[in-house]
Amino acid sequence: MSVGTTTGSERLRNDMVDRLAADHAAKGLTLRPEVEAAMRTVPRELYTPGKPLEEAYKNTAVVTKRRGEESVSSVSAPFLIAEMLGQAADALEGLEGRHVLEIGSGGYNASLLRELVGPSGSVTTVDIDAEVTDRATACLAAAGYNDVTVVCADAEQPIEPGRRYDLIIVTAGAWDIPPAWRDQLTDDGVLVVPLRTHGMTRSWALRRSGDRLDSESHRQCGFVPVQGAGAHGMQYVDIADGVHLRLDEGQQVDADAMGGLLTQPRQEAWAGVSLPPRTVLSDLDLWLAIRLIREVEQFVVLTAQEAAIKAGTVAPSWQFGTPATIHDGTFAYRSELSWTGRMFDLGAYAHGPAASAAAGRMVEHMRAWVDAGCPPPVLHVLPAHTPDGDLPDGAVLDKRHSRLVLAFTPTHEKGTH
Active-site amino acid positions: 76
Contact between 351 and 312 under an 8 Å Cβ cutoff? The reply is no
CA 262 to chain centre: 29
The CA radius of gyration of the chain, in Å to the nearest whole number, is 22
Q: Which residues contact 79 (CB under 8 A, 6 or more apart)?
A: 20, 23, 59
CA 323/CA 362 separation, integer angstroms: 10
6: phi > 0 → left, psi -120 to 50 → alpha, else beta; which? beta
The whole-angstrom separation of Cα 253 and Cα 259 is 11
Instruction: Check if the beta carbon of residue 249 is closer than 8 Å to that of residue 199.
Output: yes
* Residue 396 to residue 391: CA distance in whole angstroms: 9
Answer for the pair 198, 248: CB distance below 8 angstroms, yes or no.
Answer: yes
Q: Within 13 A of 124's CA, how many CA atoms are on the CB side?
A: 18
Closest CA to 359 of 351, 369, 370, 349: 349
Sort strands 322-327 and 330-334 into parallel, antiparallel or unpaired.
antiparallel
Spatial distance between the Cα atoms of 391 and 334, rounded to a whole number of angstroms: 30
